Amino acid sequence: MTLETFFRENSRVAVAFSGGVDSSYLLYAALRYGVVVRGYYVKTAFQPQFELDDALRLAHEIGADVSILRVDVLSDPIVLSNPSDRCYHCKKRIFGTIAKAAQADGFSVLLDGTNASDDAGDRPGMKALQELAVRSPLRECGLTKTRIRELSREAGLFTWNKPAYACLATRIPHGTAITRESLERTEKAEAFLASLGFSDFRIRQYGDAARIQLPASQLERAVELRSQITERLKELYTAVFLDLEPRG
């Protein structure tokens, strides 16, 4: 099946839209093939502000209608306890909210940006999508992450080379309770590294310490900026460590 065929068969759809590479291309493709579509962005404490900014920018550039929904994931005690299947409980709540809003807007088909490269066995959240009957046309049509980036570049989408980004909760080890303070601390710390020009990195929380994970090409620069990085991050953490094993 091709995306064109999929959208010919599904001419009125809602898209769970994060502003990332996959959902951005999916929203663009729906518009390209002339279907009635609306994107739904869910803002929670797990998403940094730049993700919402990117989503709104992309929507504006392609002329897509997007609704912003807000979900208080921190009101869920299971999510707060951060079990190994936290993603399942979080996705169930987020996509349940989108489905309800989409239904009220007259959309009965809900899509997400899961692609053919995603390992369903390694993503607890996939179970939630299946239970809610969410369709994943990129996956169904065999489009890999690499191909989606190529198509996005050809389409002129600024998201074509955007690094993959997992929510802020993934920085906190399973079994460690999630707090609003720990999420805000992570967002501030990662925003600082981004301001220095670093990309595709993570700052993991271990107790009150931070472990910085960077691509191999950026490790040397991190060492050069060691004093600057340490000074800022020690305002947020008791200790700062640089992981010498490259990310990715």
Question: Residues 34-87: pLDDT tens digits?
Answer: 999 999 999 999 999 999 999 999 999 999 999 999 999 999 999 999 999 999
- In what side-by-side order are the strands of the sheet with 36-43? 66-70, 36-43, 12-16, 110-111
Q: What sign has the CA pseudo-torsion 142, 145, 146, 151? A: positive
- In what side-by-side order are the strands of the sheet with 209-213? 202-206, 209-213, 239-242
DSSP 80-135: HH--TTHHHHHHHHHHHHHHHHHHHTT---EE----TTS-GGG-THHHHHHHTT-B
The CATH number fitting domain 3-161, selected from 3.40.50.720, 3.30.1490.100, 3.40.50.970, 3.40.50.620: 3.40.50.620
For residue 86, how many C-alpha atoms fall within 13 Å in the half-sphere facing its CB?
23
Q: What is the pTM for the complete model shown?
A: 0.92
pLDDT confidence band for 203 (50 / 70 / 90): very high
Question: Looking at the predicted structure, is the pLDDT value of residue 12 above 70?
Answer: yes
Q: Enumerate the domain spans of the chain.
A: 3-161, 179-242
DSSP 163-222: PP---GGGGS-TTSPP-HHHHHHHHHHHHHHHHTT--S-EEEEETTEEEEE--HHHHHHH
Question: Residues 138-197: pLDDT tens digits?
Answer: 999 999 999 999 999 999 999 999 998 889 999 999 999 999 999 999 999 999 999 999
Q: Tell me how far apart the alpha carbons of residues 227 and 136 are, in angstroms, rounded to a whole number.
A: 45
The counts of H helices and E strands in the chain are 11, 7
Q: In this predicted structure, what is the pLDDT of residue 67? A: 98
Task: Given CATH 3.40.50, say whether it is the number of domain 179-242.
Answer: no
SS3 assignment, position 71? coil
SS3 assignment, position 76? coil
Q: In this predicted structure, what is the pLDDT of residue 247? A: 86
How far is residue 118 from each of residues 124, 180, 242, measured CA to CA in Å?
Answer: 12, 29, 28
Same fold, 3-161 and 179-242: no
Q: Which of these, 204, 135, 206, lies nearest to 126 by C-alpha position? A: 135
> Residue 247: CB partners within 8 Å, gap ≥ 6?
200, 201, 202, 213, 214, 215
Query: Rg of the chain's alpha carbons, rounded to an integer?
Result: 19
